[in-house]
Structure formats: C-alpha cells, structure tokens
Amino acid sequence: MVIVGAPGLMSFITVFVLAAFVGYEVVSKVPSILHTPLMSGSNAIHGIILVGTMLILGQAHGAAQETLGFLAVVLATLNVVGGFVVTDRMLHMFKPRSDPKPASTPSTTPTGDDGSGSGSSGSPS
Amino acid sequence: MSRATATDLVYLIAIVGFIFALIGLSSPKHARIGNLAGATGMLIAVAWTFSLPTVYGQTRNLVLIIIAVVIGTAIGVPAARNVKMTAMPQMVAIFNGVGGGAAALVSVTEFISLPGKSIAIYKICEILFGVLVGSVSFAGSGVAFAKLQELMTGRPITYPGQQPINAGVGLAIVAVLIATVLTANTALLVVVVILSLAIGIIFVLPIGGADVPVLISLLNSFTGLAVAASGFTLDSNLLIVAGTLVGASGILLTRMMSHAMGRSIGNILFSAFGSVITATGADGGPDGRTVRTGTADDIAVLLAYARKVAIIPGYGLAVAQAQHVVRELADTLAARGVEVYYAIHPVAGRMPGHMNVLLAEANVPYDQLVEMDDANPEMATTDVALVVGANDTVNPAAKNTPGSPIYGMPIINADQATNIVFLKRSMRPGFAGIDNELLYDPKTTMLFGDAKDTLSALVAAVRAV
C-alpha cells in the first residue's frame, strides 16, 4: 500500500462527491412508507465494510492485528447478513390490495425508474 | 485483463447493485427485487475478495476470515429472522452499530500496521476520521439499542454539569486528534478510541425515545461515512461509494425526520427535549376540564355507522403489539361498507416509517397507508378519527399555541374530523409531556386501556351491532 504522496487521492475525492449526489438523488425519491426498509437497506449496504475487513485480516501480522481484524470481520458479517435478511423480511410484507380494486393502487411507471437507474449508476465510474 | 482491472470491474458491478437497491425503494412494487440486487452485489464483491491473492494467498489468515464470517452469519441470520417487527428499531440500531464498529476496527488495524514515521498526514486524517465516526456510531447505536430495548429509560438522561462535561470531552478529543496527526503515536490512538466511544454515549444519553427516529437515521449516516473513510484509507472506490451512498441517504432522512417534527436537527440532538417540559406538562392538566369516556359499545356504534374512518396509529400501537387487531377492526368495518384508511405521521413510532412496517406485517395493503400530507385534506370529510396510541402527532397545540414546545410541528388534523376517538392507556401526556387540548374537545370520546384490549373489545362490539 502506498503511504507517501497522494496518488489518486483526487480521483477518490471525485468519486466521493459524485456518490454523495447520487445517494441524495436516489433516496429523495423514496416514499415515506418505505423509510424503515430504506434504513435497514442502506444499513445492509454499508456492510460492504466486510470487504475492507477481509483485506485487513488477510494482511494482518501478529496477535494484535489478527485479533482486531477477526473481530472486525465478525461485526461486518453481522452487519451484512442481518441487514439484508431484515430488509427482505420487511419488504416481503408490503403487499398491494389483493381484492379486486386495482384502480386505487398508486402506479409508478417502471420506465422512469430504469432511466434514472442507468443514469446514476454510470456516474461513479 | 489484469487482475486489478477485473477487481475494479467486479466491484463496479457491486456498486451498481447497491444503487439499484436504493432505486428499487422508490416503490413497494420493486423494492424487494432491488434489495436482492443489492444482496447479489454484496455476494459478488465478497466472493471476489476471497479470490484475491492478498486474501486467498494467506492460508492462515484465510482460515481466520472464514471462521469469522461463519460466526457472524451464525449469529446474524437467526437474529434477523426471528426478531419481532415491533423490535425492528433496536435491531436496525444494533446492525448499524456493528457496522460502525467494524469500520473503526479497520481504521485502527490499518493504523497500527503502518510503519511509524513515513505516513502522510492526509492518511492519518482519513484513519482518524474513520476511528472517530465509527466509534461514535458503535457506542451511540449501543445506547440507542439499550433505550429501545428498554434496558434503560427511554427518557432523556440529563445530569448536573452535562454541558461543561460534554464540552470538556469535545475539547479533549480535538487536542488528542491533533496530537495523533502530528506524532502518529499508537498510544494516542487508543485514547482517541476511548474518547470517541465516550462521545457516542454522552451524545445519545440526552436524546429521548420520540426523537430516536432522527437519531437512528443520523447514526446510520455516521456508519456510512466511517465506511467511506475506510475506503479512502484502503484506496477502495467500492467502500467509498457504498459508504457515501449511505451517508448521503442518512443525512437526507435525518433532515426529513426533523422537518416532520418541526424542529431543527440541532434542537433535537442537543436540547434534551421532553425532560424539562415534563414538569410544565404535569401542572397543565388539573384545571377543571373533563374528558368524556365512552364504552366499547358506544364507540362501536359510532364506527359502524360512519361513512369514513381514519385510523391514526402511534407508538402505543407498537407497544401493545396491536397491529393485527387494528387490521381486524378495519376489515370488520370495511365489511360493513365503511371506508377505512390509515393516516400515518412520518415520525410516529421509534424509527422512520415504523408504523408502515408494523401495519404491513399485519397484511394491511400499502395503498391504505396514507401519508400525512395526503391524509390531512381528507380529515374534514372523515366521520371518525380513531387515534390509537398516538398523542403529540395529533395535538392541535402544534398549530394553535405559539410557545408550545411542539409549535410548528406538522400534525395530522384529527381535530377536523366530525368525531374523535382516543384509545389511550391513561391521561398521561405524550412523549413531549404537554397537555393535549383535543382530549377535552366535546367531539372527543376516550376509551382507556391497552390498545390491544380496547381494539379487541371494539371488534367484538362492532360485530354485535
């Protein structure tokens, strides 16, 4: 790992700023009915720290680093699996009216979402 | 294609999965598919990471990683599967806390593995940011968990000299942070960790139960930012993007929640709301006004012959775990031709959108869950507003009484309905500790008791009408 100097620091900052805008844009479209799944879903996403903990433990030398790294992997795994399972359980419960009254169901056009999807996912690269 | 490029590509796919997970949440229809996309992205990223020489090549450490992942999964999956929906806020708090803890540990381990003198200042700053924010999130989420799980009081905790102590700890950590940046000393880092944990605790202690929705979204944002900081430390776009997505979303959600409370974020976090005001609320009651209490049969008649009924749930519904019974009542009324809808205040409950999840668990179709802004225009034509375990979110003082602690908070206009029915445990004021004049309104009928019991009595009484 490079320690001295700042190779690529600017490009990381660029990615950071763009990701902040993407996150803000995407999340501002979430209706309040789904705010709890949003909480636990984004919770699961920051479980990506698992990848970081794996890299750290992979390179760990000595008892101190290994212990800290091991603990980190356990915690991060808890975050990932817990986050996604809980979110899936919650979203599974959200169902539209099942009796024949489909007219009252709020309709969101999937095409609009697809459009914003490809737009936002392109920007972090 | 070199391995480094392949890694970048795989991680990019994971990032796209995460973004789709958030996009999916724009509607309940594709939210679940979105979440699966996110989980798939996570799986791909983790699987690929296992194949990297820095991981796969280190046999001894690889075994440690696998053991750790197995332990985490063995604890996490059953916990997430079995948790009751009413306990969801504390579950989210704990999963958030462990993420923050993991991010802090990554930064700490990275710090001690770096050779002493040649570390660039910006690198130390990234690491310290990760340690600080991750530790605050870890400790803060722990206290939030304890409050929500009722291991400790949900009321704001204040003590003499709180402000000076907080200021002292704040100054101390600034000093230690600067010293650590300058010396890159490991012993100082330990002090940073301890002080950060202390800050997480004293930061959350004065925040009361009803303000926890704001707190949880803020802590979620903190963990995201700590993960992004780890991404800077490890030169990983994947961690930077994923962490920042969460950080941005948490901040946005925090703003929405504080807006729905009509208060600034600073006021919610630093004013120990509810602790001071409880005193004034106590002497607001006994001034000769009387409330009208009804029997389940009276109210059943009122409901059964209504045209349109609004159910306004609050935290009391969650405490009584009455979501299934309330749905039974709604169905019984609907079977009689009554139009029933749920009017949901954004901060009702203990986390953002709490009521929606509870009612969804009871199989209430989501098109019956009406947001406050859409519900309020309906109130004037609603015959009965049935308030179940809510108080402050329907208190007209928010509109009419300048100087009231909740003045300016958007409320559900239950007062505009033709009749109002409160299902409450007692006359005790709501979390804000202020009297609710709506309880004394001539249009209001009270039915005291546990929400589950009173709702069951109402279901039976409506069937008998």
Measured CA to CA in angstroms, residue A78 lies from B76, B139, B219, B236 at distances of 5, 16, 17, 21
Adjacent-strand bridge partners of B340: B309
Per-residue pLDDT at A117: 36
CA distance linking residue B6 with residue B13, whole number of Å:
11
CA distance linking residue B118 with residue B109, whole number of Å:
17
Inter-chain touch B73–A77, beta carbons under 8 Å: yes
Adjacent-strand bridge partners of B344: B371
CA distance linking residue B421 with residue B424, whole number of Å:
9
Inter-chain touch A51–B45, beta carbons under 8 Å: yes
Per-residue pLDDT at B287: 54
Tell me the torsion sign for CA atoms B202, B205, B207, B213: positive
Q: Please name each of the domains of chain B with its CATH number.
A: 91-275 (no CATH), 287-464 (3.40.50.1220)
Q: Which residues of A touch B109 (CB under 8 A)?
A: 56, 60, 65, 68-69, 72
Amino acid of residue B18:
F
> Among all residues of chain A, which has the CA nearest to that of B24?
A113
8 A C-beta contact, residue B431 and residue B208: yes
CA distance linking residue B144 with residue B208, whole number of Å:
10
Specify the 3-state DSSP secondary structure of A73.
Answer: helix
Per-residue pLDDT at A106: 43
DSSP B293: B
Adjacent-strand bridge partners of B384: B309, B419
Q: Say what the pTM is.
A: 0.86
Inter-chain touch B54–A58, beta carbons under 8 Å: yes
**Catalytically annotated residue among B283, B383, B392, B435:** B392
Which pair of tokens denotes residue B60? 């001894």
b/e string for B139-157 if b means 16 or more Cβ within 10 A? bbbbbbbbbbeeeeebbbb
> Among all residues of chain A, which has the CA nearest to that of B235?
A12
Which pair of tokens denotes residue B133? 């924010």
Q: Which residues of A touch B368 (CB under 8 A)?
A: 97
CA distance linking residue B196 with residue A28, whole number of Å:
31
CA distance linking residue B322 with residue B449, whole number of Å:
12
8 A C-beta contact, residue B10 and residue A125: no
The answer to whether residue B42 neighbours chain A at the CB level (below 8 Å) is: yes
First to last CA, chain B: 75
Count CA within 13 A, CB hemisphere, residue B38.
Answer: 35
Which pair of tokens denotes residue A119? 């737009």
- Render pLDDT for A4-49 as a digit per residue (tens, 0 to 9): 456 688 999 999 999 999 999 999 999 989 999 999 999 999 999 9
CA distance B462 to chain A (A): 22
Per-residue pLDDT at A17: 96
**How many C-beta neighbours within 10 Å does residue B187 have?**
8
For residue B127, how far is the Cα from the chain centroid?
28
Which pair of tokens denotes residue B174? 């600034």
Nearest to A88 among B35, B112, B346 (CB): B35
In this predicted structure, the answer to whether residue A101 has a pLDDT above a threshold of 70 is no
The answer to whether residue B87 neighbours chain A at the CB level (below 8 Å) is: no
A107 pLDDT band, cuts 50/70/90, is: very low
Q: What tens-digit pLDDT sequence spans chain B (465 residues)?
A: 788 899 999 999 999 999 999 999 999 999 999 999 999 999 999 999 999 988 888 888 999 999 999 999 999 999 999 988 888 889 999 999 999 999 999 999 999 887 665 678 888 899 999 999 999 999 999 999 998 888 888 788 888 888 888 889 999 999 999 999 888 888 999 999 999 999 999 999 988 877 888 899 999 999 999 999 999 999 999 999 999 999 999 999 999 988 888 888 888 887 765 544 443 433 344 456 788 888 999 999 999 999 999 999 998 898 888 999 999 999 999 999 999 999 999 888 888 889 999 999 999 998 899 999 999 999 999 999 999 988 888 999 888 888 787 888 899 999 999 999 999 888 877 766 678 889 999 999 999 999 999 999 999 999 998
Inter-chain touch A39–B45, beta carbons under 8 Å: no
Element (H, E) at B339: strand B339-344
The answer to whether residue B45 neighbours chain A at the CB level (below 8 Å) is: yes
How many beta-carbon pairs under 8 angstroms link A with B?
420
Best mutation target among A11, A14, A46, A108 (most B Cβ atoms within 10 Å) is A46
CA distance A81 to chain B (A): 6
Q: Which residues of A touch B344 (CB under 8 A)?
A: 32-33
Write down the H helix ranges in B83-211. 88-113, 121-148, 162-183, 186-204
Residue numbers of B between 288 and 347 with CB closer than 8 Å to A: 344, 346
Q: For residue A119, with 0-12 CB atoms within 10 Å meaning exposed, 13-18 middle and 19 or more buried, which class applies?
A: exposed
CA distance linking residue A37 with residue B92, whole number of Å:
10
CA distance linking residue B258 with residue B265, whole number of Å:
6
Element (H, E) at B62: helix B59-82
Is B392 tagged catalytic? yes
Pairing mode of beta strands B369-371, B384-388: unpaired
Amino acid of residue B280:
T
> Among all residues of chain B, which has the CA nearest to that of A83?
B95
Q: Which residues of A touch B122 (CB under 8 A)?
A: 6, 9
Nearest to B122 among A9, A81, A108 (CB): A9
Per-residue pLDDT at A7: 67
Adjacent-strand bridge partners of B444: B420
Inter-chain touch B54–A27, beta carbons under 8 Å: no
CA distance linking residue B135 with residue B30, whole number of Å:
35
8 A C-beta contact, residue A98 and residue A89: no
Which pair of tokens denotes residue B54? 């820095």
Q: Among A120, A81, A23, A28, which Cα is nearest to B228's?
A: A23
Inter-chain touch A36–B68, beta carbons under 8 Å: no
CA distance linking residue B236 with residue B10, whole number of Å:
12
> 3-state SS string over A15-50?
HHHHHHHHHHHHHCCCCHHHHHHHHHHHHHHHHHHH
CA distance linking residue B383 with residue B240, whole number of Å:
52
Per-residue pLDDT at B123: 87
CA distance linking residue A34 with residue B390, whole number of Å:
20
Q: Which residues of B touch A102 (CB under 8 A)?
A: none
CA distance linking residue B283 with residue B332, whole number of Å:
40
Inter-chain touch A32–B23, beta carbons under 8 Å: no
Q: Which residues of B touch A53 (CB under 8 A)?
A: 102, 105-106
